[in-house]
Amino acid sequence: MEEKNLNYYIRLLEANKNLILTGAPGTGKTYLAKAIADAMGAEYEFVQFHPSYDYTDFVEGLRPTPPDKNGNIGFERKDGVFKEFCKKALLETFTTSNKVNEPNNTPKEVSHIASSFSKENLPSFYVLYDELKKRIQNHNATLYTVYPRSQMELQISGKDIMYNKGGSFTSNYINEDYVQKIFNYYRDRNVSDITKVPFKDFCNIIGNTLNYTYYRGIVQELLNMNKKFINIPQLEKSSSIQKNTFSTKEVNPQNENIKKADPSQPYIFIIDEINRGEISKIFGELFFSIDPSYRGEKGLVKTQYQNLITDESDPFYEGFYVPENVYIIGTMNDIDRSVESMDFAMRRRFAWVEIKANEHTEMLDEELADMKEEIVQVMTRLNAAIWNEENHTGIEGLSPAYHIGGSYFSKLALYLDNERTHKEAAYKHLWENHLKGVLFEYLRGTANAMENLEMLEQVYYQKEGKDDIEG
State residue 227's pLDDT score: 78
- Is the model's pLDDT at 254 over the cut of 60? no
Q: Tens digits of per-residue pLDDT, 70-105?
A: 788 888 899 999 999 999 888 765 444 433 333 333
Residue 248 backbone class (left: φ over 0; alpha: ψ -120 to 50; beta: rest)? alpha
Q: What's the rounded mean pLDDT across residues 330-341?
A: 71
Q: Phi and psi dihedrals of 98, rounded to 5?
A: -95, 55
Higher-pLDDT residue of 304 and 248 is 304
Find how far residue 37's CA is from the centre of its chain: 11
CATH of the domain spanning 3-67+258-355, picked from 3.40.50.1370, 3.40.640.10, 3.40.50.2020, 3.40.50.300: 3.40.50.300
Q: What percent of the chain has pLDDT over 70?
A: 80
Q: Tens digits of per-residue pLDDT, 172-186?
A: 888 888 888 898 888
Beta bridge partners of 149: 146
Identity of the amino acid at 155: Q
- Is the model's pLDDT at 415 over the cut of 60? yes
What mean pLDDT is reported for the chain? 80
Give the domain ranges of the chain: 3-67+258-355, 118-254, 364-460
- Is the model's pLDDT at 245 over the cut of 50? no
Mapped onto helix, strand or coil, the DSSP state of residue 165 is strand
Contact assessment for residue 202 and residue 214, using Cβ atoms and an 8 Å cutoff: no
